[in-house]
Structure 1
């Protein structure tokens, strides 16, 4: 039986899956949650050539504070020549991602398996 690691915070769980660091956001991601998540997110996205998956599957609510976290994580990973994938199937969050244009920068995958099956993309210089 596989044991899940304890969450770093009540809003973030980090685990390794198929060579990727999966950052699983949980519950309501608002200003307070973002402040709680940010230091952990920065630590995980600050590694050279990191392979990161931002998993929004367990979220219940996601506001502009969450969008800032995603954008920041993406920039930090790509600046260090890593790769970043997004998992999201929540209809309202998908709509916000589309409206803001973030879905063009981080195309959402419907499941973690779908994201991890993607071929590795060469990161930007």
Structure 2
């Protein structure tokens, strides 16, 4: 499941449950809306409520990061799950996605 809301001029996309091939379509729609050219300059994806995250999720995050970069915006990422962080590390994406453990840290970084 994916939902978005605004906090301090930043769009937060909160993902919950499984992030995999079965849920990718729904998540892509919400991420595309948040990262659209007319959206806020900063988007934070919050993974704290996810229960499963695979390579499909990584692809969605990289796509969202690319969309934000094209419009000179920033994508933040909240993630404290050891397995998900390890997946990002193995894929060599921690430098690109720059995960932080709390929403507050992501919002501060976006400011």
Please say whether Structure 1 and Structure 2 have the same fold, judged by a TM-score greater than 0.5. Answer: yes
Q: So what's the TM-score if we normalise by structure 2? A: 0.93
Match of residue 62 from structure 2:
71
Give the unaligned 5+ runs of structure 1.
1-10, 121-125
Higher percent of residues as strand: 2
C-alpha offsets along residues 44-81 of structure 1, whole Å, 9 cap, x if unaligned?
A: 11124621001111000001110010000000011011
Aligned residues: 110
**Structure-1 residue corresponding to 2:98:** 107
- RMSD of the alignment, in Å? 1.3
CA distance in 1, matches of 2:23, 2:77: 19
Verify: 1:51 aligned to 2:42, yes or no: yes
Deviating above 6 A after TM superposition, structure 1's stretches of 4 or more consecutive aligned residues are none
The structure 2 residue matched to 1:88, chosen from 79, 88, 92, is: 79
Q: Please state how far the C-alpha of 1:101 moved relative to its aligned partner.
A: 1.1
Unaligned runs of 5+ in 2: none
Alignment match, 1:4: none
Normalising by structure 1, we get a TM-score of 0.83
